[in-house]
Chains A and B, each alone.
Chain A
Amino acid sequence: MKGRVHVAGYGVITAIGNSVEDTVTSFKNESSGIGRISLFDSIYQDVLPVGEVKLSNDAIAEKFALDPRTTRTSLLGIHAAREAVLNSGINLQQWRCGLISATTVGGMDKTESFFENYLLNPNSGRLNKVVNHECGKTTELLAKYLGIHGFISTINTACSSSVNAIALGSRLIKHNHLDVVVAGGSDALSKFTLNGFNSLMILDKKPCKPFDAGRNGLNLGEGAGFVVIVSERVASHYGINSPCHVNGYANTNDAFHQTASSPEGRGSFSAMTSALKMAGLEPTDVDYINLHGTGTINNDISEGTAIKRLYGDHYPALSSTKAFTGHTLGASGGIEAVFSILAIRDNFVLPNLRFVNAIPELGIIPQTKFESKKKVKHVMSNSFGFGGNCSSIIFSANT
């Protein structure tokens, strides 16, 4: 139970970039990825904007010699996890290696198409479209591509899933069950989730405005974000120049309502305080908070209230990056973990696009511009989900 868990590699793909460095460029240019739906036909095509990854299934499949019929969640996952592993320079086969991948939609993109035929006749619909429906199949496909034969696990705690994946990976390393873990999450846009969130009336018809007084819901996004985390032994074996380590994490439950957050943000407050306690940090030690900040009325007031309870009026630089990427659901924790790591690596804080007016009850003004800082040492990232699942994770610089 000793030693640090180091971040050795990271990879990301979202609407604002197909790689880590593309993503940094988009942040610097403050260039959002929200736009029109092109992946599938929907009556909401010109109504509900989304954050699509700018690569087709065929393009990803061709790049890595994969079957183009593979589910989009798997293709996006492979894209980001591969970047993370290459970035780490670690030979996975040499170590006790695990893969923990989070997803909420799994193979739903293909299942939707299967169901159109199935509903007409239970004996129709191509079976190869449902064979990878289960969330765990995404992880199997990733494991196969990466050549990981040890521990595999899939987590689905809705939109907090991939923070929990990174936390589990860290614990498996601390308990000396594994040396190296590839952890994160992947979720593709699907008609199922688009219609689901639309039926809840929490999708903004315009590009979303997290933490703004005039916010009117979220935009869905898609993507994947993975980290390669390693034990001290592995880090020193390779002489890895790791930007940071996993310093604290917590998983709590709001236990208030299946979809709504408690007004006082009790789940998010306790996730943040527990993660800080584990890291041995005071709230004021945190240099930047990557908010869950979906842009819904309910999330932002609840999360903001928890921040106010924790900080009063002296909160650190904070922002939601969902105005860039959309809400990538089960992948968001992995994607935003990579953003948090980049903030430490390059000493910057990320802007909360489209913010104009503070939420009157809170008065919280997020970071509005991309800004280089002298030193970003500790970053906290929040991810909350349906079912009251609340998770926070803290990355801390190694120097």
Chain B
Amino acid sequence: MAVYINGIGTLSAQPPWNKEEVISVAKAYSGDKVSCVEPDYSQYLDVRQLRRMSRIIKMGMAAGIDALKEANLKVLDGIITGTSYGCLEDTGIFLSKMIENKENALNPTPFIQSTHNTIGSQIALMLQCQGYNQTYTQSGFSFENALVDAIMSIAENENQSILTGAIDEITLTSHNILRRFNMFRSVTNSLALFEIKGKGTIQGEGAAYFVLSGVAGADAVELATVNMLFQPTVDALREGIITCVDSTQVTMEDIDLVIVGKSGDTELDVLTDGLTSELFGKSTIARFKHLTGEFPTSSALAMALACRIVQAQRIPDVIVERDRQRSPKNVLIYNPYFGAYHSLIMLKSC
């Protein structure tokens, strides 16, 4: 049983990635956060629908619709979403109003749309998809949990197409609060995040949906495996990476490209750098969070980027850290999230 990625839709701080040259232009930002480049949503939904939707729902809808379009699909068997923070904007609105109005005269709409499953259920409503509908919210594993579920679903019945993805947004409130935990630092050029040492990363956001199926479509990429390690020791992490690669019937030397989710927080990146150079001496090493910023479901954007790289057979210079001149067939994404969450996603060209 193999699982294929047949369609991709993303929103990130970057202009859309494509199958031909992957990254046409990399956008630079200054400050301690990078926000999504958003499309004109009226291309996707009618104005009446849009008026009721919060920003994260629109982002999810646009990414989901793009993924379906690319897979040339109208009917879905299920929708699986990962989101760590969920619908923060509406949560913040309802909470603020409740306190300001002293519990009086509250509009229910932000409450209704505050639950994490609103994104997946709005997509189901739009597509009239009455199948499986699931939402995971486990910080740096939210997307990976969704992938594990999708892989099992396809093993249970391979003739299914399941829209699987992840999404997280920055709101003014979430930025204000998370900033106080000293998670972020201000930079003058986000693209140079890794060149200037310092504590903290830049906050990011994004949405990525994938059409996964047991049947390969045009330009499909194989999703070989997903693994998670929660608060591992360094030894357990090293062993976990080796076991994960081994489980996909390739050797460590067969990995052409490792996309590493180092964050730009110099202290946190020491472990990541040490492990990747120790384990992957022959692979090209790349990183992506100077493009997307750091957020709990950023690995979904890394997977989208990796798919485009496999499709184009081209690794853009802007992400390369150490080039070994290999054509990208086997790609490993290793994503650490603030030291506690470590995930591994392996893709293979078809």
Contact = CB atoms under 8 A, between A and B. Distances in A.
A27 B86 CA distance: 37
Interface in B327-350: 340
A241 interface: no
8 contacts: A1-B156, A111-B95, A153-B136, A156-B135, A253-B132, A267-B130, A387-B117, A387-B122
A388 B133 contact: yes
Interface stretch (A189-197, A312-320, A340-348): A189-197
A157 B99 CA distance: 26
Interface in A265-286: 266-267, 270
A152 B84 CA distance: 13
Contact of B118 (A131, A149, A258): A258
A136 B139 contact: yes
Interface in A36-58: 42-44
Given A158-B115, A199-B111, A253-B130, A171 B95 contact: no
Interface string A327-366: 0000000000000000000000000000000000000000
Given A119-B100, A389-B121, A200 B108 contact: yes
A130 B183 CA distance: 14
A346 B312 CA distance: 62
Contacts of A266: 130
A115 B96 contact: yes
B98 A191 contact: yes
B21 to A, nearest CB: 37
Interface of B: 79, 84-86, 94-96, 98-100, 102-104, 106-108, 111-118, 120-122, 124-125, 127-139, 141-142, 145, 148-149, 152, 155-156, 173, 176-177, 180-181, 228, 230-232, 340
Contacts, number: 172
B86 A135 contact: yes
B53 to A, nearest CB: 10
B131 A253 contact: yes
Contacts of B116: 104, 135, 156-157
Given A255-B125, A386-B121, A196 B94 contact: yes
B80 to A, nearest CB: 10
A119 B104 CA distance: 17
A155 B137 contact: yes
A74 interface: no
Given A135-B137, A151-B228, A386-B117, 8 more contacts: A112-B99, A152-B141, A191-B103, A192-B94, A196-B111, A199-B111, A253-B124, A257-B125
A8 interface: no
A305 interface: no
